[in-house]
Structure 1
């Protein structure tokens, strides 16, 4: 081809290479045709299909004497108009405080960390000392556990977070996004430009009040996950 000569073995190796490369991409495919399967078997390549299954997840309350702070960040565009939001509940699953904050034009990671900061400020104002903090950002969880931030321009905010955490009995929990829906709702309000706080269930926006009642009733959310089959 184009004046170049290759041996049969070279051509065969090239074919196997590209078929192998395509096979790696099949991890995001749910269904293969019989012809696809026969081709992979011909080349002795493994099938690594992922099947989508549904699992139930739900918000869980803390033991007496503790409050639970759920926080979330939202960036419409990433970066884009961003908001921080969260909710504090007691061990009876009752509302202590919900909040939303418009924080400007930032990334989702910035919004996640700012939601934590604003949540800790509310915790301090209310005088709570035993706090379980739950969020769906594994990145921020890792920053907190290693006590190292990932965003250099947030140094001042990070120092305030560490200072506020130092005065608390605190634990960090990662959760699925579905079971963090109330905090996510507040964060979306912030991204739309609304800054406010709520201490009464009757004053909450209707859609947030509905998700809050689902959590308080112990009802599960459905999460779809992919597993290798």
Structure 2
């Protein structure tokens, strides 16, 4: 796109000079073809995988097309403030059976309580809601009133925060928001690995499991929790689409 004005002016100048001082006749289509050919040569030199014919229609189509590219963002679990505890929950379904898991931590990233639930038959969104509700109700029973919750389910977060319609499974969550200082926000899966692994453990155990001592946690969960406590960065690859083609010369 940056080259188009310069190439267009250059080809017009050559055509004008050829017609005025040389023996060439002015030919609009020849000039357009020269512009297109020059652009395609630049494109193939810097974007080898792009396939485009050396004609103006192909160049125009390429410039208005959505060209996918990958964006890498840094993601990490963040500790809550001193007054809050933080819940990370997750739910999943496998072959019709649902499991849920979650972890509750203090402002230093230390374990308060963790759980893995066998939820039986249901849907994925239902499992997400049940896993979060279990953690919220545990906090209420144990008098933790300042609760910061995170879920990687955008559907659940939007439902509880009234951005979309509210299914029956999350009405109790909304009731807790009205009686406690309960805040729910969305997080990427890379910042929710502890809850995700606890949810997956439910498929191997028919009984619910709970932990309040760090040493009793499964080895992988302990490793993931330590990575969160040390605020180690994860990387998330996101596919984006752009409406322009950017070429930066070296």
Superposition TM-score, scaled by structure 1 size? 0.76
Q: 1:148 & 1:48 partners in 2: Cα distance?
A: 29
Match of 1:6? none
Match of 1:199? 212
> Structure 1 stretches (4+) deviating beyond 4 angstroms?
36-41, 147-150
Q: 1:208 & 1:94 partners in 2: Cα distance?
A: 13
3-state SS in 1 of match to 2:192: helix
Q: 2:181 & 2:58 partners in 1: Cα distance?
A: 59
Change (3 A) 1:93 1:38: farther
Change (3 A) 1:81 1:37: farther
8 Å CA contact retained: 2:99, 2:120: yes
Q: 1:225 & 1:205 partners in 2: Cα distance?
A: 30
Q: Do structure 1's residue 161 and structure 2's residue 177 form an aligned pair?
A: no
Work out which of the two has the higher radius of gyration on C-alpha atoms and give 1 or 2. Answer: 2
Match of 2:128? 112
How many residues are treated as equivalent by the alignment? 193
Alignment map for 1:1-229 (pairs within 5 Å): 33-36=49-52, 41-42=57-58, 44-45=60-61, 46-77=64-95, 80-146=96-162, 150-151=166-167, 155=168, 157-192=169-204, 193-229=206-242
Change (3 A) 1:40 1:106: farther
Structure 2: gaps (5+ residues): 1-46, 243-250
RMSD, matched Cα: 2.3
8 Å CA contact retained: 2:160, 2:173: no
Change (3 A) 1:37 1:128: farther
Q: 2:233 & 2:73 partners in 1: Cα distance?
A: 9
3-state SS in 2 of match to 1:85: strand
Give the drift of 1:40. Answer: 9.3
Structure 1: gaps (5+ residues): 1-30
Give the drift of 1:74. Answer: 1.1
Q: 1:75 & 1:97 partners in 2: Cα distance?
A: 23
Q: 1:74 & 1:39 partners in 2: Cα distance?
A: 51
Change (3 A) 1:92 1:50: same
